[in-house]
């Protein structure tokens, strides 16, 4: 358990360091501007930290390996999408929807499954994996939209995802 906590802390520090390295200010920028830039971390980084915590939770509760593997693929896809969407498409419906998937939906799906007894988890694993596959497929589709800069398709995809995964929550 102690090793898990250390791993989570190391992961959080690593994410922050990688972000700062990626966003390192230019040498010509005044020192005051650089200090203020480093002190304001982006909103998506908070969502990434939530995913790290959720990852720690699934490992702490010793979920079946296929479930952990599928969740890790979802975490990885969200890790790739969140910075790009929030930096390049901030304010778009798709950005809002993916942020909600990372910060709210995934936890609402995983937490009840984690709370089940190991017998109940085994009985419900196939159904749970199927729902994770649907989420993973949608995240891959979103990745394609972002990679290919298909901004025109963002609104339609966001509306579909909002209904499918968030129950048409609009705020």
CA dihedral 2, 58, 18, 23 (to 10 degrees): -130
Mean pLDDT over all residues of the chain? Answer: 76
Q: The pTM is what? A: 0.66
Kindly state the average pLDDT of the residues 33-44.
58
Question: According to the per-residue pLDDT averaged within each range, which of 12-16, 17-21, 33-37, 104-108 is highest?
Answer: 104-108
pLDDT at 82 over 80: yes
pLDDT higher than 60, residue 24: no
| Confidence at 103, pLDDT banded by 50, 70, 90 | confident
**Eight-state DSSP code of residue 153:** G
Work out the pLDDT band at 97, boundaries 50, 70, 90: confident
pLDDT band at 28 (very low <50, low <70, confident <90, very high): very low
Residue from 106, 71, 104, 98 nearest 82 by CA: 98
Give the model's pLDDT for residue 162.
66
d(CA 49, CA 59): 15
């Amino acid at each position: 358990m102690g090793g898990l906590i250390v791993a989570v802390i190391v992961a959080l520090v690593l994410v922050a360091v990688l972000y700062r390295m990626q966003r390192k200010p230019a040498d010509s920028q005044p020192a005051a501007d650089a200090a203020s830039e480093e002190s304001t971390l982006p909103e998506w980084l908070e969502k990434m930290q939530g995913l790290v915590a959720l990852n720690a939770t699934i490992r702490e509760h010793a979920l079946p390996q296929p479930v952990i593997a599928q969740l890790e693929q979802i975490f990885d896809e969200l890790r790739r999408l969140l910075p790009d969407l929030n930096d390049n498409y901030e304010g778009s419906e798709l950005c809002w929807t993916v942020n909600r998937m990372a910060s709210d939906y995934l936890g609402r799906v995983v937490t009840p499954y984690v709370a089940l007894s190991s017998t109940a988890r085994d009985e419900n694993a196939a159904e749970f994996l199927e729902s994770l596959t649907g989420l993973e497929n949608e995240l891959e589709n979103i990745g394609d939209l972002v990679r290919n800069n298909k901004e025109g398709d963002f609104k339609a995809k966001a509306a579909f995802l909002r209904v499918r995964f968030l129950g048409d929550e609009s705020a």
